[in-house]
Amino acid sequence: MIAIFKKELWNFFGNWNAWLIIAAFSIISALFLFFFENNFNLFEIGSATLQSFFVLSPWLFMFIIPAISMRTLAEEEQSGTLFWLFSQPVKITEIVGGKFLSVWLVGILCLLPSLVYYYTVYVLGVPEGNIDGSMTFGSYIGLIILIAAFSAVGILASSLSSNQIMAYLLGVFLCFILYFGIEQLASYKLMGGADYILQNIGFYQHFLVFTRGQIDTRDVCYFLFVIFLGLGLASWFVWKKK
């Protein structure tokens, strides 16, 4: 798994893909938080909080993570190197796991420039430092876990198609449905008591708990289940191609 992980990281950072993705995430989030007139602008909100960033970030990662993960398995199959990997002394779960860890790490690295936002809000607060540290910390933990869930979904989408564009579109679609689509469907309250169950199937409600500064083991276990389910299904689809 470590060898696959290192190989993927080299592919991401060796040809500037990861750097461009990190830069794109940072620039887009900065424009929304500080320059564009919108509901996410920190100056228009007028309060010392990064809540806008944690509301905006899942929507950005919904498109960014599938862009990172689309090539992981689809390109291997398209180029024929996937079958070469099958001949190596490495398990399919290790192939999938190594690729997942590399995508997850690039996603986490996208968050590093956001520490500048935290420092900015910390300094501009009245009085200085007037920012809810526990809520911010919990939100970062939730975002890191959400990135892992998106990464697992993206890997699954890449395992289903040998075409990178199709893998990307499928990844975006699945992430959108799991994060926002299920939540919106439940909000219509068409199924009575079943709406509560439907809400808890999606990512949104579980991520929302973290943004309140709470780290609940039930939400952590939910995301772990989704991650292992996604990676397990991806491993099974890859095994079917062997």
Burial degree of 231 (CB within 10 A; 0-12, 13-18, 19+): buried
Distance CA 18, CA 24 (A): 10
Q: How crowded is residue 34: how many other Cβ atoms within 10 Å of its Cβ?
A: 13
In this structure, the number of other CB atoms found within 10 A of the CB of residue 55 comes to: 14
Residue 207: closest CA among 152, 150, 155, 153: 150
What is the spatial distance between Cα 67 and Cα 164, in angstroms, rounded to a whole number?
Answer: 9
Q: Is 14 exposed, middle or buried (0-12, 13-18, 19+ CB in 10 A)?
A: exposed
**d(C-alpha 211, C-alpha 217), whole Å:** 15
Distance CA 80, CA 82 (A): 5
List, run by run, the mean pLDDT of 10-residue segments along the chain (242 residues).
87 87 94 88 79 94 96 85 82 94 96 92 77 88 97 96 93 95 78 71 92 90 97 94 77
The whole model's pTM is what?
0.94
Q: Which token pair is 139? A: 């939100």
**pLDDT, position 39:** 85
Q: What is the per-residue pLDDT for 200? A: 81
